Structure 1
Amino acid sequence: MALLLNIDTAVDGASICISKNETVLAYTEHPTPTAHASWIGNAIKNLFTSNQLSMNDLDAIAVSNGPGSYTGLRIGLATAKGLCFALDKPLICLNTLKIMASAVCDADTDLICPVIDARRMEVYTAVYEKDLTIRTPPEALIVNDTSYAALLDGSRVLFTGNGVPKLQQVIKHSNAIFSNNRYTAANMPVLTIKQYVEQQFDDLSYTEPFYLKAVYFNKN
């Protein structure tokens, strides 16, 4: 039985959960993206204390590592790394798009396409089979009325995520299904435990957020 901490600050709100294998033991969230940094440390401490659990008993720490908000990803990974170093625990990084797909994998559809708003008409996206095998790897895509046309001609595709409103403006294909489902850290344990069992751990020193696009910093 593995005790796991799951952290998500990748997209909209922030959320954390403690899980034993696939089962969520405790969960909390914060809806304001601009307050992730000030919220997350105390939230983790309080979640363990209020559930009479010890962080020393953790077997691993998992984080949703992108793509997503650049600031959110940095906060999430920095928090996870800091705890891993302090507690001498392994780090597990999960792809945010895969977490989103996993959250709706029971839906009656052929393919799952998570989409994250990347400003203007751009989204971060990937396409997954129902068993979460990747059909189309993660990419940054500017959407228009021909986006996903080849897939939609032969398959019913479920689009999910905060990028859905952009797609609904331009994609009118009858095989396009749009979901308002919101993923959280509570959707992570089923993926976290799999990577834990398979010992798929990430390097604490060199792992960086999966931004998908190049990051440019203002040097002024």
Structure 2
Amino acid sequence: MSLLLSLETSTTVCSVALHENEVLLATAEVHREQSHASKLAVLIDEVVRWADVKVSDIKGVAVSSGPGSYTGLRIGASTAKGLCYALSVPLVAVGTLEILAAQMNKTNITGARLCPMIDARRMEVYCQLFDAQSTALQPVEAKIIDEQSFVTELNEGPILFFGNGAAKCREVIRHPAALFVPDVTPSAVSLGALASQKLLRNEVEDLVHFEPFYLKEFMVKKPSTLNQPVPNKLA
């Protein structure tokens, strides 16, 4: 029995899946913002119970490597690494945009190229262009969207835009070859399918040095000093 546990935490959706020899056994997910810290362990317990296996039977753990939510990626990576250390099993990482492209590839009957987008606040997205078979055509980038975005690529043919960063781009990218698909979020089921193939090829991560691919540095605002009490200085 070769069980692979997959954890997808890169967006507001938190999902877990369990595969055996590439066959899906169980999956569970929660569509609620800021739920990863409280729900990820619960979802892991649920899929293990539903599949009627033991945690000790797991032979590998897969995690989405980003880009995406800084907090979500940290929670997923730390949980996955903890399980791998405890069970002495390998860690497999798959890019979030690659996961999204693989999901859309299954339903893409248009033959259009694929452009998954992850929201990066304001009018910026993390994105990557793939062909209709989910082969990457460009590297991952953080892109500020305006009226000229993807004009060259769209002049060459249609592109499907999807992911939680695509909706806000719909009113800006008005090219007739731009097609938008709503409500597409990365899933642990697709992550597990891709990770199963990577595990067979022994494409695993170094547990000590693995870190999610944030693409941009996480910005922490310093607290304002205005209206802060001034400490008493005793003579």
| Distance of 1:15 and 1:21 partners within structure 2 | 20
Q: Residue 190 in 1 paired to residue 193 in 2?
A: yes
Q: Residue 206 in 1 paired to residue 209 in 2?
A: yes
Q: How many angstroms does 1:170 deviate by?
A: 0.6
Q: Which amino acid aligns with 1:87?
A: L
SS at match of 1:60: strand
* Higher alpha-carbon Rg: 2
Q: Residue 63 in 1 paired to residue 44 in 2?
A: no
SS at match of 1:124: strand
- Match among 115, 118, 135 for residue 116 of structure 1: 118
Q: Which amino acid aligns with 2:147?
A: D
Q: Residue 80 in 1 paired to residue 83 in 2?
A: no
Q: C-alpha offsets along residues 81-135 of structure 1, whole Å, 9 cap, x if unaligned?
A: 0000000010001100000000011302331100011110000000111232211
Q: Which amino acid aligns with 2:50?
A: S
Q: How many angstroms does 1:37 deviate by?
A: 0.7
SS at match of 2:152: helix
Give structure 1 stretches of 5+ with no counterpart: none
In structure 2, the CA distance between the partners of 1:197 and 1:171, relative to structure 1 (3 Å rule), is same
Aligned length: 220
Alpha carbons 1:4, 1:62 under 8 Å: kept:
yes
Q: Which amino acid aligns with 2:11?
A: V
Q: Which amino acid aligns with 1:210?
A: F
Alpha carbons 2:28, 2:46 under 8 Å: kept:
no
Q: How many angstroms does 1:12 deviate by?
A: 1.5
| Distance of 2:44 and 2:111 partners within structure 1 | 36
What's the counterpart of residue 100 of structure 2?
Answer: 100
| Distance of 1:154 and 1:42 partners within structure 2 | 46
Q: Residue 36 in 1 paired to residue 39 in 2?
A: no
| Distance of 2:64 and 2:74 partners within structure 1 | 11
Q: Which amino acid aligns with 1:213?
A: K
Q: CA RMSD in A?
A: 1.5
What's the counterpart of residue 152 of structure 2?
Answer: 150
Alpha carbons 2:15, 2:43 under 8 Å: kept:
no
Q: Which amino acid aligns with 1:56?
A: S
- Match among 160, 164, 169 for residue 162 of structure 2: 160
- Report the TM-score, using the length of structure 2 for normalisation: 0.89
- Match among 166, 169, 172 for residue 170 of structure 1: 172
SS at match of 1:45: helix
**Deviating more after overlay: 188-197 vs 50-59:** 50-59
SS at match of 2:185: coil
Q: Which amino acid aligns with 2:136?
A: I
Give structure 2 stretches of 5+ with no counterpart: 224-235
Q: C-alpha offsets along residues 24-56 of structure 1, whole Å, 9 cap, x if unaligned?
A: 210111112212111111321232123211122
Higher fraction of strand? 1
| Distance of 2:67 and 2:112 partners within structure 1 | 23
| Distance of 1:92 and 1:183 partners within structure 2 | 16
